[in-house]
Chains A and B, each alone.
Chain A
Amino acid sequence: MTTAIKTTPENPFVRFVFWPLVALLGAGALGGIALNNGESINSLWLIVAAVCIYALGYRFYSAFIAAKVLALDGTRATPAERLSDGRDFVPTHRWIVFGHHFAAIAGPGPLVGPTLAAQFGYLPGTLWILIGAVLGGCVQDFVILFCSIRRNGRSLGQMARDELGIVGGAAALVGVLAIMIILIAVLGLVVVNAMRHSPWATSTVAATIPIAMLIGLYMRNLRPGRVIEGSLLGFGLLLLAVFGGGWIDESATLRTWFDYDGPPLALMVIAYGFVAAVLPVWLLLAPRDYLSTFMKIGTIFLLALAILVLRPQLQMPALTQFIDGTGPVFGGKVFPFVFITIACGAISGFHALISSGTTPKLLSNEKDARFIGYGAMMMESFVAIMAMIAACVLEPGIYFAINSPTGLVGAQAAQAVATITGWGFPVTVEQMQTLAQQMGETSLFARTGGAPSLAVGMASIFGSAFGNSLLAVWYHFAIMFEALFILTTVDAGTRVARFMLQDLLGNIFPAMGRTSWYPSVVICSALVVLGWGYFLYNGTIDPLGGINSLWPLFGIANQMLAAIALCVATAIIVKSGRARYAWVTAAPLVWLVIVTTSAAWEKLFSPELRIGFLVHAEDLQAQIASGRITGEAIASTERLIFNDQLDAALTAFFLIVSWIVVIETTRICFAFVRGRKTPAVTETPYEPTRLVEG
């Protein structure tokens, strides 16, 4: 179908009737969503608006970028063809590459971000997901993929060094390492909060580890390389684990073995992360990745199907009063915080690593970059829309009861419901008890991090679509599904960060740079795990829930990486002599710089206790000084103070790194336009393709 669009002139009917109708429908749906006042709307509106906007964005904007800005050339041999080695560089069918690329970019991010951002109401998040993706995220993925294809599949870090010089390259490298640490910590926290005092969830998640190992052994020794067989077997075992968790939960003695508070669970995740990083990949990481990819794609399709069948009403209003920054899920006004809370799903710098990693080495035709780069990000954005729907079909009172930390609404159930009801979102203790009972949990209060509320939303959607009797099973299925691929990210991220650290340390101590030297593996893995483990553990003891400080930090880091990627892209477009089209990447870049800078500034200097890291530290200090905090609490408060200062330092670091790259890029672009000397464009020379268009 994509070839038809590319090669044949468009049918006048399609051109003059179909696309205007799509535009009209999209505008109507969007208008309906935005202008609706007071009444609850159907989730179908969001779906229709999303599909129309994606269709228009793909058909027109991405075509414009493909033809004018990048001038994709189908006659040019791709790295997959020229460097074909049967391993990394393999010319592959576009649908297969699309599948690989989508599976690689779609992680837990687009599920968690929208769930948290739903505290502002469904409107701000939805608009940012749609507009951000079509004009920002999809463009970034597409352009970086193209740049990497034209440079033999080089990575973002290498391209930054080549195009922006040593400063830009170093900033990109350090930025990636830092974002990895924060990302793993915050995702670890999401899992820990989902398992806290939930024997069912904990035992099910724990069971995924031996299951993955079993599949690893199966695929290595019993039936080498039989990936589908192994994955199906694993899928069966995972389902068994979900039901098994229910049996454990019912047994009075067994359930105590899996009933833990946040901090011990955090220590377990940290220990797991270390063991997973030093174990051989075939035993844990690779089979876990197979299972999580199967689960992820399967569950996303199931969710889309259920939403289409059910078309649930959204209970959350379009806007809540929390756009003023007083929201309980995380502190901060809708601007700029919605734009950093939802990173994956709108624009995510992390994608640039995939678009300049495995994917560019697989494309058999350069023209497929549009379908794969732009198209796969559209799919990811759609996943974010579904997560938004799943969060907004919950009654707002329930949503806030699940997602508000105890430090804010009170640890007692009666106190919490009174606070939340006082905000105008009625909820009762009985309601929460019944819900927890239905979901097979003891309590759903203050289960921050987004995973539990997403699981409740998914369970209620799945339950209504496919039978309500198994709500508890659906809930724990959803938790298992999220935990499965979050733990995959924890493993894979720790490994990647370890490689980077080994690479960095290798410059100082050459022995450390040998990636398979065991002492280096253990030391570097331990350093990486300690890095994220520190943030994770402190997140679990933070009375404000940890998510409140870690998720914005992650969002800022991720958007900063996106800014670096867009800088590289803009520099390449300018240096290829297409400066008049540089706005295509420069516009989202400017927006991201505005958003991350103002968010980082607020996180540093806001006088609000829940927003500004520094003012929060000062407040705690004052509380100790005035004797309001005494005894044992002093030690933990001092740790919180240090933590705030560390978070502030990291935020400042992210801010400085991204500004260095932006200034470097601006300098190089202006120097080029004025004809002064700049790092040369590194595109590989043209070679005609010999592949027959398939």
Chain B
Amino acid sequence: MNSLLKLKQSCSTAWSVLRELSGDDAYERYLQHHSVTHPDEQPLDRATFFKTEQRRKWDGVRRCC
């Protein structure tokens, strides 16, 4: 039981690392940041956030040779 729990835990860690690495959880992180820094403002919805984020991210050198 204990080892099963451990396995489950490490799987979920791996999953969250993968999500963070790929940017899959960007919106959740944005919500978190937003709720701390601008608690009185309405956050962007998921689709709008993703749109602005993608446009912004590519305004510079992102990839190398």
Given A225-B24, A225-B27, the answer on whether A357 and B65 have CB atoms closer than 8 Å is: no
A290's contact among B22, B53, B64, by CB below 8 Å, is which?
B22
Q: How far is the CB of B4 from chain A (nearest CB, A)?
A: 25
Interface residues of A in 71-98 (CB under 8 A from B): 84, 86-87, 90, 92-93, 95-96
Q: Which of A104, A282, A285, A495 is B64 in contact with, Cβ under 8 Å?
A: A104
Q: How many residues of B contact A (CB 8 A)?
A: 33
- A binding-site residues for B, Cβ under 8 Å: 84, 86-87, 90, 92-93, 95-96, 99-100, 104-109, 183, 187, 219-221, 224-228, 231, 280-282, 285-286, 289-290, 294, 343-344, 348, 350-351, 353-354, 357-358, 488-489, 492-493, 495-496, 499, 515, 558
Cα separation A343 to B64 with both chains bound (whole Å): 12
In the complex formed, the residue of B with least CB distance to A499 is: B59
Q: By CB atoms of chain A within 10 A, which of B30, B49, B58, B63 has the most?
A: B63
Chain B: which residue is nearest A496 at the CB level? B61
Within 8 Å CB of A105, what residues of B?
64
Tell me the minimal C-beta distance from A176 to chain B in angstroms.
Answer: 8
Nearest chain B CB to A377 CB, angstrom units: 11
Known A86-B34, A220-B51, A224-B46: A492·B58 in contact at CB below 8 Å: yes
Q: Is the CB of B24 within 8 A of A227?
A: yes
Q: Smallest CB-CB separation from A216: which chain B residue?
A: B54
Docked Cα-Cα span, A225 to B29, in Å, equals: 12
Residue interface bits B8-47, CB-to-A below 8 A is 1, else 0: 0000000001111111101101100110010000000011
Residues of A within 8 A of B24 (CB): 225-228
CB contact between A107 and one of B29, B53, B59, B65 (< 8 Å): that residue: B65
Q: How far is the CA of A499 from the CA of B60 in the complex (A)?
A: 8
Q: What are the nearest 8 A-B pairs in CB distance?
A: A86-B33, A109-B65, A224-B47, A225-B50, A227-B24, A107-B65, A281-B58, A492-B63
Q: Is B6 an interface residue (CB 8 A)?
A: no
Bound CA–CA A286/B34 (angstroms): 24
A10 to B50 alpha-carbon distance, docked (Å):
46
A144, chain B: closest CB distance, angstroms: 13
Q: Which of B19, B30, B47, B60 contacts A358 (CB 8 A)?
A: B60
Q: How far is the CA of A87 from the CA of B29 in the complex (A)?
A: 10
25 pairs from A and B in contact (CB 8 Å cutoff): A90-B29, A93-B20, A96-B17, A96-B20, A99-B21, A109-B64, A187-B65, A220-B51, A220-B54, A225-B46, A227-B26, A228-B24, A231-B22, A281-B55, A344-B64, A350-B65, A351-B64, A354-B61, A358-B62, A489-B64, A489-B65, A492-B58, A492-B61, A492-B62, A499-B59
Q: Give the distance to chain B from A562, nearest Cβ to Cβ, in Å.
A: 12
Q: In whole angstroms, what is the CA distance A339 to B62 when docked?
A: 25
Provide the bound-state CA to CA distance between A358 and B59, in Å: 11
A92 to chain B: which residues have CB within 8 Å?
Answer: 20
Q: Which residue of A lies closest to B20 (CB)?
A: A96
> Inside 8 A of A219's CB, which chain B residues have their CB?
50
Cα-based distance from A99 to B22 in the complex (angstroms): 9
Pick the contact of B26: A108, A225, A499 (CB < 8 A): A225
Chain B residues closer than 8 Å to A493, beta-carbon distance: 63
A214 to B19, CA, bound (A): 21
By the criterion CB–CB under 8 Å, are B50 and A220 in contact?
yes
Residue of A nearest to B22 (CB): A227
- Residues on A with C-beta less than 8 A from B26 are 225, 227
B57: A residues at CB distance < 8 A: 286
A284 to chain B, nearest CB (A): 11
Asked if A286 and B33 make an inter-chain contact with CB atoms under 8 angstroms apart, the answer reads no
Which residue on A lies nearest to B63, using beta carbons?
A492
Chain A residue at minimal CB-CB distance from B62? A492
Which of B33, B55, B65 lies in contact with A348, CB distance below 8 A? B65
Cα(A489)–Cα(B62), bound, Å: 9
Bound together, the chains give a CA A219 to CA B56 distance in angstroms of: 16
The answer on a CB contact under 8 Å between B60 and A357 is yes
A95 touching B17, Cβ below 8 Å: yes
**Which of A96, A280, A289 lies in contact with B63, CB distance below 8 A?**
A289
Q: In the complex the two chains form, is B55's CB within 8 Å of A282's CB?
A: yes
CB of A146 to closest CB in B, whole Å: 18
CB contact under 8 A between A104 and B62, given known A87-B53, A282-B55: yes
Contact A286 B65 (CB under 8 A): no
Closest Cβ of chain A: how far from B33's Cβ, in Å?
3
| Bound CA–CA A229/B29 (angstroms) | 18
Residues of chain B within 8 A (CB-CB) of A499 are 59-60
A189 to nearest B CB, angstroms? 13
Is A489 a contact of B54 with CB atoms below 8 Å? no
Residues of A within 8 A of B18 (CB): 228
Interface-centre pick from A187, A290, A351, A353 (highest chain B CB count, 10 A): A353
Taking CB atoms, residues of chain B closer than 8 Å to A495 are: 58
- Residues of B contacting A294 with CB < 8 Å? 22
Bound CA–CA A536/B5 (angstroms): 57
Q: How far is the CA of A281 from the CA of B22 in the complex (A)?
A: 17
Q: Which of B19, B46, B64 is within 8 Å of A353, CB to CB?
A: B64
Q: How far is the CA of A489 from the CA of B30 in the complex (A)?
A: 28
